[in-house]
A and B are shown apart, each in its own frame.
Chain A
Amino acid sequence: MKILVCISNVPDTTSKINFVDSNTKFDTQGVQFIINPNDEFGLTRAVWLQQKQQAEVTVLTVGDASCEPTLRKCLAIGADKAIRVDADPTDGYFVAKQIAAVCEKESYDLIIAGRESIDHNGAMVPGLVAGMLDYEYITNCISLEIENDQATAAREIDGGKEIVTSGFPLVIGAQKGLVEESDLIIPNMRGIMQARKKPLEVMAANDADASSTVVSFDKPAPKGEVKLIDAGDIDTLIDLLHNEAKVI
């Protein structure tokens, strides 16, 4: 079995979000980049499957050379090899096109991508890849088991979950639940040493146009001061919520 895990290189969750170049570009000054959390849940599941199914796990990212430490971390976590498609990941459509092009050459059985990234929040890459390749697709995936030629997965739905079975090839939109937070693998020295020797292939980008362009970024208007209400004065809170905020 061949598994591809798509990795997005995103600002750490505590990063200050600022923009430069007349608010057209994210300010990377002093920002640390990490594996997108949803992707990391997916990668961890893939590493488990690698052991159980004798699967080969490839990680892929679309980005410039600054993404390589993130790919090396994925290799240290346990992926067998890495691919970097050398291009600016302009939008979700462009990224999906690149992933689909690699998949057409390599024919993976299982493709895992985070259900959404914490920077663009597009929530579209795994779905677009599935659509472009006409593969089966399960997103918001909170469990995945593989037996013979069939996958059994749970999808989180509003208010519960749905258990589905599917054939391959299959695209998964990963999130927490696929593995737990405590299952995430912190690379050890041996893993880090091995990762240096594992293959990291740089591929030229496929010809594709982005389907959208960011014109500008903006930050939400700063909040006014909080109105503090005395703990003994619940009536005032209720009055404010009813008459001022009009939410109850």
Chain B
Amino acid sequence: MAKRIDVTDLNVYYGSFKAVEGVSMTVEPRSVTAFIGPSGCGKSTFLRTLNRMHEVIPGGRVEGKVMLDDQDLYAPSMDPVTVRRTIGMVFQRPNPFPTMSIYDNVAAGLRLNGVKNKKTLDGIVESSLKGANLWTEVKDRLNKPGAGLSGGQQQRLCIARAIAVQPQVLLMDEPCSALDPISTLAIEDLINELKSEFTIVIVTHNMQQAARVSDRTAFFNLKATGEPGRLIEIDDTTRIFNNPSEQSTEDYISGRFG
């Protein structure tokens, strides 16, 4: 299931503004990679290039190479829709479809792509909700609107929705920043379970969270506002937090700036 991502020399633009410059990294399969760094350094921007969501923004374009195992994601023959089915995404703010029930939300990715078989859908909805640790809380009200859940439940619903299309990789952009500590813990536990099946990349502002959930950590930084963000270093999480090779990483982690 899970796949490796190899990024080489990636530049990311918004129109003429270069937001991210020269990123090369490898994201290991079946592991959690955390992105940390000060606000505006391009973590979200870079994350969105990994499943070609960046080009949805008018003027958004990318230079460089992103490989998923041996597939070039930015090859001209590559359909961005296929890429996004393979690499799912969870957003900062929970965004269930407001017109759909809990069941329909989870089934949405499959239904909108033409899967109609009720049995198949039932099975996938149940396993996805179980996978997202939400099943016991919602199994009696699958037909109630998804927007009626609590924020933390909504976020887990969004995770269930993302894993229901059975992606290889799951990207998460600050998935806990709108949640209370309990829901945050629930999602962190979930990430720990999911990593046996998926390759996970998570952006977070919370150092403890990065330290708790991730196997590897990438630190991004930018020289000054208006300058493009860069990858400073990526290494095992324990190493980044205890003995980073760059001074700026240590400064950031110990709270001396950013």
A and B from one complex: no
Q: Tell me the B residues contacting A by CB distance below 8 Å.
A: none
Q: Tell me the A residues contacting B by CB distance below 8 Å.
A: none
